[in-house]
Structure 1
Amino acid sequence: MAVTLETKVKHVSVYQSGARLTHIGELELKPGKNTLVIKKLTKRLDKESVRVKGTGHGQIINVNIERHTQKESKLPELNEIRKKTDQLQRELHYTQDNLKMLEERYQNHIDFSKIFFKRAPTYFNKNEINLEKISAMEQHIEKKDELYLSKRHEYESKLEKLNDELHELQKEANNIGTAQKIEEFYEISINLEVLQEGKFEIEVQFQIPDAYWIPFYDVNLSEKNAHLKLLGNVFNNSGEDWKEVQLEISSANLRPVRIIKPRPMIVKELQPLPPPRPVSASLKKRGKMKAMSGNIMKGGRDMEESIGFAAEAEPLARSVPRMQQRMAKIDESLGVQSYQLPTPLNIPSDRHPHPVTLVETILDTKKGYFWSVAAPDMIIIKDTITNGDLLLLPGNAKVYYEGEFIGESQIPLIAPKESLELGTRRTYDLKVIKRLKNRSSNKEGILKGKIGKAYQYEIEISVLKPNKYKLKLMDRMVHSDSEKIKVGKSNFNIEPESKDLGILTWNLDLTGKEKIVISYDYEVIWEKEIRITPALP
């Protein structure tokens, strides 16, 4: 005899792609063979992932999983929608009638006001009315106008709301469609042998692909550290509401991992296609007549004859030797991180994000300044944050400095103890000025058929706020890869760390400094007939 087992979702583990659900049900059983049936499980479950276990004096003999379909009438839903629609339409007509009556009364009020103000001077001259009564009538008319406007706004708002509700009901009725729907679901039959009468608890676990979570971050920077909050948007598209479930968020992924081998990359000389041969007038005429008569030719040879082209056979691909493959070294030191939420949660199956807070931590941070000649009026400061023991998954980050929002950024995959840069913002702790101190021409070079120009620059860094950070400063000088344009040897009072293609980079320690001055000079020499572009400063 089959017994229906009612189960509820008690625990959900959500992964980056997919989720694992745990259903639990309890019932009393008598000794002997029993068949338990769990009905109407979500159609989105992965059949191969179903696992059944339980507690009690007995043993599970076998488990059978079947997919079922069931026709379900939608008439009750449609009838309920019609009932609501009729009620709303009655309210709509009633409100429209009230608005119409209000408009008619207000029109009578306007007509009366016009007559009164037209005759008031005559009544006043005949001492039939005084100024106090005229003033009182004016106030009465103004109150009537205000009351009319207020009442009219009330009716119009109600009409708009009723029309919106009717529109939503119409959409709901369209979504329901026909009077019947076909419901798909899984049923699990569990055959077990009970050795002793008592309470049995059955636990069913399975995986679904239609649930996942996306990490995002709130990062609040300060002078000393960074307060990082890891959150997750949980999406439940399983078709089953999760009510009062113990939720676990995991950095694992249920998607299969595949080894993708590289294919050979073969380069060869590009052979342009030969130009098409000219088509004779007779062949054009013949092809046009065939097309008009409806004799559409199929196949390579017929098409060639109809349009006058000869197809060229493609050369066969040569066999390519298999490339040697080195096995990748697998590092499992990162592991998988999971977060168990402390309280039960409700997450409906509504395809909307449901944010949860996973962890908060304080991370060490180190600040650094940046200045570039490409944007000389802007000095940038950013934080280099050193991660702790967390695995930070890729996600959006809202960044704050001392509680003030400064922008959004992206956090890539960051391993434990790895660093990341965040919080790029403008600062006024420093002042950097670049000056052209001297520019001169080499007149002697003109007599030898060459022209020379010498430049001397100075970069002054003023430290307005004492700190122990570093400034990365990037400048640019002339660079040439032409034999006819030479850049002479440059001299620096502070040697840059790199001079790549004329890009100069310094990393300057600001500890205990109030002012730093960098000066350098160089000379450009070129042949007289050469025209330089872009123009030299």
Structure 2
Amino acid sequence: MESTGPKHPATMKILLIITTICLHTGLVFAQVGASDEQRVQATLQQATVFLTRAQLSAQAIATLDAGTTRLVIDNAPAQTDPQSIQVSGKGDAIIQGVQFRTNYLTKATKPASLQRLEDSLRANREAYELLTVQEDVLQQEKKLILANQQVGGKTTGTTVKEVADMAAFYRERLTKIGQELLFLNRRMVEQKKRVDRLDAQVNEQNAKRERPVGEIEVTLTAKSRTTVELELSYVVGNAGWSPIYDVRVRDAKGPASMAYKAQVYQNTGFDWQNVRLILSTANPALPGYQPQLSPDYIGFYEPRPRFKSAAIQELNESVAAEPAGGAQRMMSKPSAAPAPQLVNTATVTQAVDQPTNVSFVIAIPYTILTNGRPQLVDVQTAELPAIYRYELTPKLDNDAFLTAQITGWDKLNLLNGPARIYFEGTFVGESKINLTEAKDTLGLSLGRDKRIVAKREQIEDVNSRKTIGSNQREGHAYRISLRNTRQEPVNLTIYDQIPVSTDSRIEVALTDAGGAELTPETGKLTYRLTLQPGESRALTFRYEIKFPKGRVLDQ
């Protein structure tokens, strides 16, 4: 039977020592686990926005104890490119490592835009609740009046005047209550719609906060307690910008005013509050190396046999015989490069200032909310010389279109993008700046002008068809009538055309150009002229088609 008496003193001493050691070790581990990680938030200072993606520059300040500290910057976007993270700064410490990790447990910091939405939702809900209270009071008053319709007591009679006065009171008060309830119900419906819209918007913003956030872990070593200032830069997705232009023309005599704007957007999960903006025409998503041509071999097609060749069979056997360690060596990822020292870290921003890219440093800070909606940012404005002409294609449209041929645009580092056109203070429509089609001048349409009257008609009495030998000949003639009802001269360019033959048996000859320039490849006719105020002019052109007798033309 096992003894239940007191243990030997030596045994008790050994157990006490072991217990003390275990408790001390656990306490040390707990202290190390609690003290080797320090969380800080970085303050966003600058955003260099590319056409797609953006490079964020932030600053973090922390006080380190002697030894090794894992500094965790916990307000980095989850879309951060880990390969782009660069850390530098000031302080008596050494950076041992930098890594990026994703935190699925912590929500993103509530942005100021969401806080404003929640405040507005709260105020509107309180306003709706106040309206419901007012409605309830009116309903209770109505019930009270209806429940007390008896006039006078049971023992005495009621005079006609008392009945009339009470009826007037009921009529006046119940009518007033009905009007107030009607007005109140309308307000409640509108207020409820406002609350529902705000509630949906808040829910959408909160749903975005459910996404994981990023964390940048910086491991530092310090000999003694010290304060460090870290400068961080990293590239994030879900951000970018695109150009848009406002072109304003006061009249058809002066220069054109061009406002270069940028539509900047970001949906990183964090608002960019009062940051310094730099817009870059670079696109980090594209490869930065020039593609190289490989030999383009040509030969005769040879059907491939369905059986495996001896070389392929031998290759398959050699792969199958490869030990497992070889496969692991082939699949293993290259080891990460060591983090740079605190004093010699390069930043991605330096790559922006290259001859192949253009950067626009915005003069004032901007706030870009994390909602994915474009924020207009003014880039630059310029007055550009312009030559104005009216262009007409009366075969398709009798209206004249005012166009501006702008010069000097090549000095503004423009990009392809939409342009909103304003002429004489009125918005006339949207156009598109297409630099691939621009040469010395950039052409923009300024809209229609009904004061240039044009009409195209076929001259019936000139058209003819006759047979000469084995061929038929058709003669065609058209007249374009023009009139300038403006109070100043206008430069006109008129376009028309003659058919172009696709068969050698069909010949088309321009017999009278009427002063037009012919482009034989396309059959395009171009007239250039100036019309004085009130002047009218007629343009006539003729052409003849020759083709074999008995055939029908397909026009």
- 1:208 equivalent to 2:230? Answer no
Matches of 1:182 and 1:436 in 2, distance apart?
71
Matches of 1:435 and 1:357 in 2, distance apart?
49
- 1:217 equivalent to 2:248? Answer no
Residue 416 of structure 2 is matched in structure 1 by 394
TM-score (norm. length: structure 1): 0.65
- 1:149 equivalent to 2:170? Answer no
> Per-residue deviation at 1:155?
4.0
Taking structure 1 as reference, are residues 91 and 390 closer, same or farther at Cα in structure 2, changes over 3 Å only? closer
TM-score (norm. length: structure 2): 0.63
SS at match of 1:257: coil
Contact between 2:79 and 2:268, CA under 8 Å: does it hold in 1? yes
Contact between 1:393 and 1:414, CA under 8 Å: does it hold in 2? no
Letter in 1 for 2:218: I
Residue 20 of structure 1 is matched in structure 2 by 55
Show the 5 A alignment for 1:35-434.
Answer: 35=69, 37-42=71-76, 43-55=78-90, 58=92, 61-68=94-101, 72=105, 99=135, 142-160=175-193, 184-191=214-221, 201-223=229-251, 224-255=254-285, 256-260=287-291, 335-386=356-407, 387-413=409-435, 419-434=441-456
Taking structure 1 as reference, are residues 473 and 11 closer, same or farther at Cα in structure 2, changes over 3 Å only? same
> Per-residue deviation at 1:490?
0.5
Q: Which segments of 5 or more consecutive residues in structure 2 lack a partner in the other structure?
A: 1-34, 111-120, 151-158, 309-352
Identity of aligned residues (%): 18
Matches of 2:512 and 2:160 in 1, distance apart?
105
Q: 2:483 aligns with which of 449, 462, 477?
A: 462
> Per-residue deviation at 1:357?
1.4
Letter in 2 for 1:243: Q
Contact between 2:463 and 2:475, CA under 8 Å: does it hold in 1? yes
Matches of 2:248 and 2:94 in 1, distance apart?
56
Matches of 1:489 and 1:170 in 2, distance apart?
70
CA displacement, residues 150-204 of structure 1 (integer Å, 9 cap, x when unaligned): 1332444455556667777877888888xxx97652211233568xx98754322
Taking structure 1 as reference, are residues 66 and 461 closer, same or farther at Cα in structure 2, changes over 3 Å only? same
Taking structure 1 as reference, are residues 352 and 449 closer, same or farther at Cα in structure 2, changes over 3 Å only? closer
Deviates more, 1:240-249 or 1:410-419: 410-419
Letter in 1 for 2:244: F
CA displacement, residues 73-102 of structure 1 (integer Å, 9 cap, x when unaligned): 88xx9xxxxxxx999999999977875775
Taking structure 1 as reference, are residues 474 and 413 closer, same or farther at Cα in structure 2, changes over 3 Å only? closer
Taking structure 1 as reference, are residues 401 and 72 closer, same or farther at Cα in structure 2, changes over 3 Å only? same
Letter in 2 for 1:257: G
CA displacement, residues 367-414 of structure 1 (integer Å, 9 cap, x when unaligned): 122111322421111112220521112222222112211112222347
CA displacement, residues 314-358 of structure 1 (integer Å, 9 cap, x when unaligned): 899xxxxxxxxxxxxxxx997422222223333343333332212
Q: Which segments of 5 or more consecutive residues in structure 1 lack a partner in the other structure?
A: 78-84, 116-125, 270-311, 317-331
Letter in 1 for 2:233: Q
> Per-residue deviation at 1:9?
1.8
Taking structure 1 as reference, are residues 111 and 350 closer, same or farther at Cα in structure 2, changes over 3 Å only? same
Contact between 2:498 and 2:525, CA under 8 Å: does it hold in 1? yes
**Superposition RMSD on alpha carbons, in Å?**
5.2
Show the 5 A alignment for 1:487-498.
Answer: 487-488=508-509, 490-498=511-519
Aligned length: 451
SS at match of 2:461: strand
Matches of 1:167 and 1:435 in 2, distance apart?
60
Matches of 1:236 and 1:347 in 2, distance apart?
7
Deviates more, 1:422-431 or 1:255-264: 255-264
Contact between 1:394 and 1:412, CA under 8 Å: does it hold in 2? yes
SS at match of 1:490: strand
